[in-house]
Amino acid sequence: MTRRKRNPFELGTASILAIAVFLLAWNIVELGTGTGPKNAPPGTTQHAANQAGATVTPSDRPSVLDQ
């Protein structure tokens, strides 16, 4: 018997569908277990650490223009 060769378009479509199903399943598991991301606006971690009294040093060097 001869095997049918796979078309690259079919393989690409199958991989996109597999990724979509995986991400959907991931979201369902996170919703079910309550381990999803918390509702916090971006950039609040450093402010919360400063309010708690922690010394926070940014990992990026300040710009030469800011000095």
- Select from 55, 37, 38 the least CA-distant residue to 46: 55
Q: Are 36 and 30 in contact (CB under 8 A)?
A: yes
pLDDT in tens, 12-48: 899 999 999 999 999 999 888 888 766 666 666 777 7
pLDDT score at 66: 72
For 7-14, what is the mean pLDDT?
Answer: 86
50 pLDDT above the threshold of 80? no
Phi, psi of 56, deg, nearest 5: -110, 125
Q: Say what the pLDDT of residue 58 is.
A: 64
